[in-house]
């Protein structure tokens, strides 16, 4: 049965329109895994509703990329071809597909025996012939366009002699990109942070592309950009760097590091996913794609009762939020 275009209802952007060929990518096991990776890792210990995930954020970035391209083509006709428009949206959609459990927090050699950045793992998943998302992406784009997508995601200025204008990369990765725009409004909404916020639609309408291919802002849009920057400052100050959030992140990394040491010494038996994370020095695409937050959460009750006092100490605090402020 042929797939149909779909409408996804989002808490921030309302209706997100997804054509059938892009839905094919979204429905893969590796992309759906992002439902089980929390956007803000341990922030829910401070802000209980902050349990939104990388899946919804990736869809939001995809949607905003489409909005921005449409706005640019309205005021600067034929600036972006239909083919490149699709690649920009897919770059936004797939920019976080390589995130480890608990997002950036566990992107560290203290935890992963096979340590690489989430960008590296994302490319491994997207290039692999053994992943559903790699297969779907190749079917949707073909090899030449898929490789142009990778060049765009890498920030290249051209692919096979065809220019990739700077603004295409800036839409996906810059100080004013669709990734940041989405996560700031989404994180603010889910944390309940009382910050002024900014008008995404006005920011998008104020953007133009100059003769060198870079973004600039129309003068009437500067207050909207200022609001964006102020919001970003306060989100980092009040949410991302909140002292309890930073403390909880420290607990989680130290707990997993201790579990790794105990497992290496034969004192702690790990589940297969955690063994792959903490001990497997040759982790492959399928093994990485099988990892999510739940594999760590489910271990907490057992580890909180373990004879090793260090492991039990961290696990108990994460399980009960007990004595946080005595640290």
Q: Do the beta carbons of residue 87 and residue 137 sit within 8 Å?
A: no
Q: Are residues 300 and 159 in the same domain?
A: no
- Looking at the structure, tell me whether residues 269 and 161 fall in a common domain: no
DSSP H helical ranges for 95-241: 118-127, 132-153, 166-172, 178-191, 200-206, 222-235
Which tokens is 83 given?
A: 């083919």
Residues in the chain with pLDDT values less than 70:
1, 325-327
Same domain flag for 155 and 257: no
Q: Does 227 map to a domain?
A: no
- C-alpha–C-alpha distance, residues 20 and 198, integer Å: 32
Query: Is the separation of the CB atoms in 213 and 167 below 8 Å?
Result: yes
Q: Is residue 230 included in any domain, yes or no? A: no
What is the CATH classification number for the domain harbouring 118?
1.10.3210.10
Q: Is 232 within the bounds of a domain?
A: no
User: Distance (Å, rounded) from C-alpha 296 to C-alpha 271?
Assistant: 10
Whether residues 166 and 283 fall in one domain: no
Flag whether 132 is in a domain: yes
57 lies in a domain?
yes
- Do residue 152 and residue 257 come from a single domain? no
> Which is it for strands 158-159 and 162-163: parallel, antiparallel or unpaired?
antiparallel
pLDDT of residue 1: 62
The last residue of a domain, from among 176, 208, 226: 176
- Nearest CA to 90 among 166, 17, 153? 153
- Asked if 169 and 43 sit in the same domain, the reply is yes
Say what the pLDDT of residue 325 is: 63
210 inside domain: no
pLDDT of residue 326: 59
Domain end (from 176, 191, 212): 176
Q: Residue 18 falls within a domain, yes or no?
A: yes
Show the domain range for 10.
6-176
Domain count, the chain: 2
Do 96 and 55 form a contact (C-beta atoms < 8 A)? Answer: no
Q: Is residue 186 part of a domain?
A: no
Tokens of 36: 């089980």
Q: Are residues 168 and 290 in the same domain?
A: no
Cross-strand bridge partners of residue 15: 9
* Residue 190 falls in which region: left (phi positive, over 0), alpha (psi -120 to 50) or beta: alpha
d(CA 264, CA 94): 34
Backbone angles phi, psi at 138, to 5 degrees: -65, -40
Burial zone of 262 (CB within 10 Å; 0-12 exposed, 13-18 middle, 19+ buried): buried
Let me know whether 275 and 163 are in one domain: no
Domain boundary among 144, 176, 208: 176
């Amino acid at each position: 049965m042929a797939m149909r275009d779909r409408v996804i209802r989002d808490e921030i952007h309302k209706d997100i329109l997804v054509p059938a060929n892009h839905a094919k990518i979204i429905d893969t096991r590796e992309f759906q895994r992002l439902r089980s990776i929390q956007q803000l890792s341990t922030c829910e210990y401070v802000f209980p509703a902050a349990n939104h995930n990388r899946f919804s954020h990736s869809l939001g970035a995809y949607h905003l990329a489409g909005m921005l391209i449409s706005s640019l083509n309205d005021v600067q006709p034929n600036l972006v071809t239909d083919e490149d428009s699709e690649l920009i949206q897919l770059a936004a959609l797939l920019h976080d597909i390589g995130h480890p459990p608990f997002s950036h927090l566990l992107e560290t050699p203290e935890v992963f025996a096979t340590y690489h950045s989430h960008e590296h793992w994302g490319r491994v998943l997207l290039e692999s012939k053994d992943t559903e998302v790699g297969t779907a992406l190749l079917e949707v784009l073909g090899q030449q366009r898929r490789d142009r997508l990778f060049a765009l995601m890498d920030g290249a200025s051209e692919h096979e002699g065809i220019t990739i204008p700077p603004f295409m990369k800036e839409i996906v990765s810059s100080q004013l990109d669709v990734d940041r725009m989405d996560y700031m409004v989404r994180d603010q909404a889910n944390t309940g942070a009382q910050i002024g916020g900014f008008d995404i639609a006005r920011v998008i309408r104020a953007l133009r592309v100059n003769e060198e291919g870079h973004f600039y802002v129309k003068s009437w849009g500067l207050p909207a950009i200022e609001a964006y920057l102020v919001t970003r400052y306060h989100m980092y100050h009040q949410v991302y760097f909140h002292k309890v959030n930073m403390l909880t992140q420290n607990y989680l990394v130290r707990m997993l590091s201790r579990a790794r040491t105990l497992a290496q010494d034969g004192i702690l038996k790990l589940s297969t996913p955690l063994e792959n994370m903490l001990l497997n020095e040759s982790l492959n695409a399928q093994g990485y794609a099988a990892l999510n937050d739940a594999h760590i959460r489910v271990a907490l009750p057992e580890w909180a009762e373990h004879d090793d006092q260090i492991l039990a100490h961290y696990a108990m605090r994460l399980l009960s939020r007990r004595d946080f402020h005595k640290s």
